[in-house]
């Protein structure tokens, strides 16, 4: 595909994940190209535009100028969580397709507004869950869907990172982040369980705690939670801002079990292993650029005028589940999950 035929992206929000992973992906993409960068810090936008060869750079106060650019066909929103809804809605109103980092927004109401804006303006909306396209996760999904593990009874999952002293302060501000480790990394556990089981949980139970109350006054450092599914399966999961980076998902069924470890980090080799019908198996998946798969999948959905699987409805339901997890943690008792239509 020629450069002119590739989908032109503007990346909005230039934090660490954008510089380390999102922007480099465009160097290797055959279906997507980097057209513009948008940041709160216009000088940072210009510096990274030069580094990654983006033709144009804007500050947030110039977002409308970016959206009026005919070469920008899609926006990849990677800003602070509380900004997702406004930035996505403005993009949709300008006729731009929207790829939005997780969590989709900080409330179900904002998610609903994003979905409606994209529908009304006939643009695509996808939430940036890399595992929908990454080979190891897809292999685990295939095992479960094919019934190789039998009826699923228990899932265990965790995603932990150590939020260092130089981490952006917005992670500790509930108005900007919408929560702590749950919304930042625990969301992967929530979405993965729903994706693997193809079911929606009915009830949540949770407990949040901190060992650093001076720093984690307003958002949780750690949280452990259970999700109860109507088919009888239970997810046991946890997330942390205070532990070394690690992630896994274990799936236990009547015929066998399977584990993906690491499960969610984007820069490591993955191992899928387990035992089914008494036989061990293991497969290794080399490190790859998962963000290329993601931006190109969205480019395909735009070209083919169809929604990709991790759409706005999926993102909104994850937010609804996390709202129930927080209600349970605050009340100290199980909380029913109110899934939006």
pLDDT tens for each residue of the chain, 341 residues long: 555 689 999 999 999 999 999 999 999 999 999 999 999 999 999 999 999 999 999 999 999 999 999 999 999 999 999 999 999 999 999 999 999 999 999 999 999 999 999 999 999 999 999 999 999 999 999 999 999 999 999 999 999 999 998 899 999 999 999 999 999 999 999 999 999 999 999 999 999 999 999 999 999 999 999 999 998 999 999 999 999 999 999 999 999 999 999 999 999 999 999 999 999 999 999 999 999 999 999 999 999 999 888 999 999 999 999 999 999 999 999 999 999 87
Confirm if 223 and 136 have CB atoms less than 8 A apart. Answer: no
Of the candidates 58, 96, 102, 141, the residue annotated as catalytic is 102
- Residue 341: the pLDDT is 74
Confirm if 167 and 180 have CB atoms less than 8 A apart. Answer: no
**Residues 122 and 264 occupy one common structural domain:** no
Q: Is the pTM of this model over 0.85?
A: yes
Q: Enumerate the β-bridge partners of residue 247.
A: 159
**Residues 223 and 113 occupy one common structural domain:** no
Residue 309 resides in a domain: no
SS3 at position 195: helix
**Residues 76 and 162 occupy one common structural domain:** no
SS3 at position 336: strand
Residue 96 resides in a domain: yes
- Residue 197: the pLDDT is 98
Which residue is listed with tokens 């929908």?
Answer: 132
**Residues 92 and 187 occupy one common structural domain:** no
**Residues 151 and 283 occupy one common structural domain:** yes
Residue 247 resides in a domain: yes
Give 236-279 pLDDT, tens digit per residue. 999 999 999 999 999 999 999 999 999 999 999 999 999 999 99
Residue 311 resides in a domain: no
> How far apart are the C-alpha atoms of 290 and 264, rounded to whole Å?
11
Residue 188 annotated as catalytic:
yes
What residues contact residue 145 under an 8 Å CB cut-off, 6+ apart?
Answer: 198
**Residues 163 and 93 occupy one common structural domain:** no
- The domain spanning residue 172 has which CATH number? 3.30.360.10
Residue 326 annotated as catalytic:
no
- In Å, how far from its chain's centre is CA 323? 16
**Residues 121 and 41 occupy one common structural domain:** yes
**Residues 158 and 237 occupy one common structural domain:** yes
DSSP conformation letters of 205-250: EEEEE-S-TTT-SSS-SEEEEEEE-TTS-EEEEEEESEEEEEEEEE
Q: Enumerate the β-bridge partners of residue 249.
A: 157, 260
Residue 213 resides in a domain: yes
Residue 313 resides in a domain: no
Q: What tokens appear for 323 in the block?
A: 């709202």
Of the candidates 129, 188, 264, 326, the residue annotated as catalytic is 188
Q: Enumerate the β-bridge partners of residue 250.
A: 156, 259
Residue 61 resides in a domain: yes
**Residues 146 and 98 occupy one common structural domain:** no
Confirm if 7 and 31 have CB atoms less than 8 A apart. Answer: yes
Residue 315 resides in a domain: no
Domain hosting 119: range is 3-130+292-301
**Residues 246 and 229 occupy one common structural domain:** yes
- The domain spanning residue 46 has which CATH number? 3.40.50.720
Count up the domains in the chain and report the number.
Answer: 2
**Residues 182 and 331 occupy one common structural domain:** yes
> How far apart are the C-alpha atoms of 202 and 232, rounded to whole Å?
10
Candidates 71, 133, 125; CA nearest to 98 is: 125
**Residues 110 and 173 occupy one common structural domain:** no
Give 210-227 pLDDT, tens digit per residue. 999 999 999 999 999 999
């Amino acid at each position: 595909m020629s450069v002119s035929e590739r989908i032109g992206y503007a990346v909005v929000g230039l934090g660490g994940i954008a510089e380390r992973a999102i922007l480099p992906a465009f160097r290797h993409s055959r279906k997507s190209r980097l057209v513009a960068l948008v940041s709160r810090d216009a000088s940072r936008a210009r510096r990274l535009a030069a580094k990654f060869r983006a033709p144009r750079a804007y500050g947030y106060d110039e977002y409308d100028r970016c959206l009026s650019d005919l070469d920008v066909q899609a926006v990849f929103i990677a800003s602070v969580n509380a900004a997702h809804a406004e930035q996505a809605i403005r993009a949709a109103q300008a006729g731009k397709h929207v790829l939005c980092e997780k969590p989709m927004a900080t409330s179900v109401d904002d998610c609903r507004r994003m979905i409606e804006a994209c529908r009304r303006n006939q643009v695509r909306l996808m939430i940036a869950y890399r595992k929908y396209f990454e080979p190891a996760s897809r292999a685990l999904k295939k095992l479960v869907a094919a019934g190789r593990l039998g009826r699923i009874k228990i899932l265990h999952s965790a995603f932990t990172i150590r939020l260092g002293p130089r981490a952006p302060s917005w992670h500790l501000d509930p108005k900007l982040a919408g929560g702590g480790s749950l919304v930042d990394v625990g969301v992967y556990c929530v979405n993965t369980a729903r994706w693997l089981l193809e079911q929606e949980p009915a009830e949540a139970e949770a407990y949040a705690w901190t060992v650093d109350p001076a720093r984690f006054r307003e958002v949780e450092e750690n949280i452990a939670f259970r999700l109860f599914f109507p088919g009888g399966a239970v997810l046991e999961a946890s997330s942390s801002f205070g532990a070394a980076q690690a992630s896994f998902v274990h799936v236990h069924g009547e015929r066998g079990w399977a584990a993906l470890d690491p499960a969610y980090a984007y820069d490591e080799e993955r191992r899928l292993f387990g035992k089914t019908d008494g036989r061990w198996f293991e497969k290794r998946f080399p490190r790859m650029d998962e963000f290329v798969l993601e931006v190109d999948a969205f480019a395909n959905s735009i070209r083919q005028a169809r929604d990709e699987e991790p759409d706005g409805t999926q993102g909104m339901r994850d937010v609804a589940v996390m709202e129930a997890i927080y209600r349970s943690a605050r009340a100290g008792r199980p909380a029913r999950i109110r899934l939006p239509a």
